[in-house]
Amino acid sequence: MSNKEPLMGGAPVQPKGSLMAGVFVLANTILGAGMLGLPFAFASCGFILGPLMLFAFAVCSSTALILLSLCADKVGREKSPKFFDVASAAIPGVGTIIDVAVGIKCTGVATSYLIVVGDSVPKAIVTFGATGIWLDRRIWTLVALCAGGFAAFQRNLTALKNVSIVALTCVMCIVVMITLFAIEPTTAFDPCADHETASATPCRGPVELFTEPMTLLRALPLFVFSYTCHQNIFSITNELENRTPWRCAQIAIYAIGIALCVYIVLGTAGYLTFGRHHPS
């Protein structure tokens, strides 16, 4: 392979994507399985620092997305630039290393989705009376693998607009459910209903405004990786119709803004539900 050929490249794309399609796809990229760890992150850093950390890294991530989009403009949009092209223009010879790193990262993210599906779906369908093979996590992991594989082979990211809308709707449902467990409007939403009263550890723990610095460091990676989506900003903006630097920046700002709002509500509600005793 020539050192000028990207591992994750592609042919020039005719710009036909709308701004909102780009926002939905990028927001769906951001809102992954990592959001399930945010209540634990809040429990590790406190009620005040949690939202502040989310906001700080949201600013950093949106700034990085905008800068990457501007770098793609400098490289030349007629080439449909990817991370490889931008990295090679900045430091010749490192494009392949960047592609390999992005590939490893995406493999890890995809694996986390398969684990979540395999662990969660069998438990969920038990309430609908499912038995036998339908409770086998391997079946649902395979189904998720096939569905994800189909989505991965679309010719462009804009084609995933409708899938992204469905996924974001599911995320909103999760946020609503977690919020209901936090405010507990009825006994049906009692998070401690299944907790053994004889247990030495209480179901709910204290809610603290601040915690010790070392516990904050433990939660830092959860905040840092909450907004990972940067590899997709190139494809999304390459496909954007009537592309301008401001329209590309809007995609980054709106998508990060959606994720920030979801994260703050989810992290706060989850932390208020169990406090310091929130399971990791």
pLDDT tens digits along 38-88: 988 998 888 889 999 999 999 999 999 999 999 999 999 888 899 999 999
Distance between CA atoms of residues 230 and 106, nearest Å: 11
* pLDDT on residue 2: 47
Q: What is the mean pLDDT of the chain?
A: 86
pTM, entire model: 0.85
* pLDDT on residue 144: 93
Q: Which residue has the tokens 């990060």?
A: 256
Residue type at 120?
S
* pLDDT on residue 195: 62
> Judging by beta carbons within 10 Å of its beta carbon (0-12, 13-18, 19+), is residue 279 exposed, middle or buried?
exposed
Tokens of residue 216, six digits: 């904050």
* pLDDT on residue 262: 96
pLDDT < 70 positions in the chain: 1-14, 194-203, 277-280
Q: For residue 258, what are the contacts with CB-CB under 8 A and spacing of at least 6?
A: 23, 27, 30, 31, 168
Q: What is the dihedral of CA 192, 197, 202, 204, to 10 degrees?
A: 20
Distance between CA atoms of residues 252 and 166, nearest Å: 20
* pLDDT on residue 186: 76
- Domain residue spans in the chain? 19-81+157-192+202-277
* pLDDT on residue 32: 85
* pLDDT on residue 91: 92
* pLDDT on residue 55: 96
* pLDDT on residue 199: 54
